[in-house]
Amino acid sequence: MQLLVGATLIDGTGSPPVPDAAVLINDEGRMVAVGARHTVAASPAAEVIDVSGMTLLPGLIDAHDHLAAHGYALTQRWGLDEPQSTTHLRTASVLQQTLATGYTTVRDAAGLDAGFKLAIAERLITGPRLQLSLSIISPTGGLGDRISPSGHSCCVPPNPNVPPSVANGVQEVRQVVRTMVRAGADVIKCATTGGASSRPGHGPKDAAFNHDEMLALVEEAHALGRRVMCHALGGPGLRLALEVGVDSIEHGCYLDEDPELIPMMAEKGIFFVPTLTVYVFHRERSAFHVRERGRALQSHHLESVQRALEAGVKIVAGTDAGGHEHGINARELQYLVEAGLSPMQALQAGTGWAAACLGWEHDLGTVEPGKLADLLVVDGNPLQDMTLLQDPQRIKLVLQGGKICVDQCTKQRVAV
Ligand SMILES: [Zn+2]
């Protein structure tokens, strides 16, 4: 058993911080007692870890990452710039680095295959708990269609563990959903619009899929026990995704343009993963047409986040990292605060609400008895300065299921 004592606890539920808290963890890696230190009965068998003066949080969750992506350039997207083995090792190092920055769980929004999950389970490498989507399902011409701006198809043979994801018509949609599940998808990712970075001609408000196709996709995914995360920025494709009842809207930049959309989200309990970080990158560093799209959507995106928050929609932190830099996932929490969430709400967006979005709230997301001890101890108080979560020096302790993955406080350990 382990007993963490002395930190200020922010438990991820939105409750006020608890000073001088204690968390008792059993040998199965689950928390058995949580609260102010005097309320937690210490077991004599427990190893005591003194984290006084620091802040204890649930392990962070990124609900939209592309851990196996290493740049937006076509050569990188198609894997032409280096041997596949090099890319896989690069991905492994991203997994380790992401965990080391306090991210104990990641939902991968396409690209990462189930082999990485297996490698983590076999302890070949360390990494966050993974919820995988494998590929983005779209019709021909949509986001899942691997075609270059020159009109050429991808020349690299497909990885069978990341199945082809173009589907036209109800039958193909059902078949592709089943193929994803067979290859190890925990969640189904689809796209009903273009995006900022998609090819010219398929932009943020250009629709993909018709009503029957999307209804079939959601039905099939739910029948197989998978949630649906849907890339949708604006226009009729965004409305379609909400109407057929996807489980989360990724990006949602133009939700503010149709007054019926946000109430519909609130009523159906659909999560909103705005991924603010990627648009900062697109506005500053991407190709010309992408920068233009990123700038055009900015004010709508902020308005959408604010209105969704007011309507009671759960906002969830996701970075869309992969095209842009890995390893600074906590920037999203800073941007959510700048977009109008309170610091406490931003932390919920990266912990409790994120776990609920993944459907893993029974085990993860908050510091409560019964849940897995995925925990983060930081030097300083993120409610006063959210940016400190981006500084690896301030990440003092990371536990995943009670196992210590990062330990920069060994000096303070006391054996009892
Ligand atoms: Zn994405």
Closest CA to 296 of 235, 239, 342: 235
Q: How far is the CA of 196 from the centre of ligand 1 (A)?
A: 11
If you measure from the C-alpha of residue 109 to the centroid of ligand 1, how many angstroms do you get, rounded to a whole number?
5
State the Cα torsion 290-325-233-336 to the nearest 10°.
-120
pLDDT score of 409: 80
Give 64 Cα–ligand 1 centroid separation in angstroms: 6
User: Which of 328, 209, 353 shows the shortest CA–CA distance to 272?
Assistant: 353
Tell how far the Cα of 137 is from the centroid of ligand 1, in angstroms. 12
Q: How far is the CA of 111 from the centre of ligand 1 (A)?
A: 10
Residues 6+ apart with CB under 8 A from 101: 327, 328, 329, 330, 390, 392, 395
Per-residue burial over 167-194, b if 16 or more Cβ lie within 10 Å, else e, is: bbebeebbebbbbbbebbbbbbbbbbbb
Give the list of residues 6+ apart from residue 369 with CB closer than 8 angstroms, or none: 31, 32, 33, 34
At residue 149, the pLDDT reads: 82
> Residue 410: what pLDDT?
62
Tell which phi-psi region holds residue 405, choosing left (phi > 0), alpha (psi between -120 and 50) or beta: alpha
Q: Residue 411 has what pLDDT?
A: 52
Looking up tokens 């050569």 gives 75
| pLDDT of 41 | 86
The alpha carbon of 279 and the centre of ligand 1 are apart by a number of angstroms equal to 11
Contact by Cβ (8 Å): 250, 232: yes
The pLDDT, as a whole number, for residue 412 is 52
| 286 CA from centroid of ligand 1 (Å) | 15
From the CA of 197, how far away is ligand 1's center (Å)?
10
Q: How far is the CA of 271 from the centre of ligand 1 (A)?
A: 15
> In angstroms, what is the span from residue 66 Cα to ligand 1's centroid?
7
Expressed in angstroms and rounded, the spacing between residue 73 Cα and the centre of ligand 1 is 15
Instruction: Using the Cα atoms of residue 9, residue 11, residue 17 and residue 23 in order, give the sign of their dihedral.
Output: negative
pLDDT reported for residue 378: 98
Q: How many CB atoms lie within 10 A of CB 210?
A: 14
Distances (CA, A) of 306 to 75, 260, 314, 340: 37, 15, 11, 6
Concatenate the DSSP letters of all residues of 48-117 into one string. EEE-TTSEEEEPEEEEEE-TT---SSHHHHTT-SS-HHHHHHHHHHHHHHHHHTTEEEEEE-SS--HHHH
CA distances (Å), 346 to each of 181, 317, 330, 335, 373, in order? 32, 8, 10, 9, 21
> d(Cα 393, Cα 411) in Å, to the nearest integer?
15
Nearest to 7, CA basis, from 353, 333, 345, 367? 367
The parts of the chain modelled with pLDDT lower than 70 are 410-416
| SS3 sequence of 215-234 | HHHHHHHHHCCCEEEEEECC
pTM: 0.96
Whole-number Cα distances in Å, 124 to 7, 108, 133, 369, 373:
32, 19, 22, 30, 21
| pLDDT, position 413 | 54
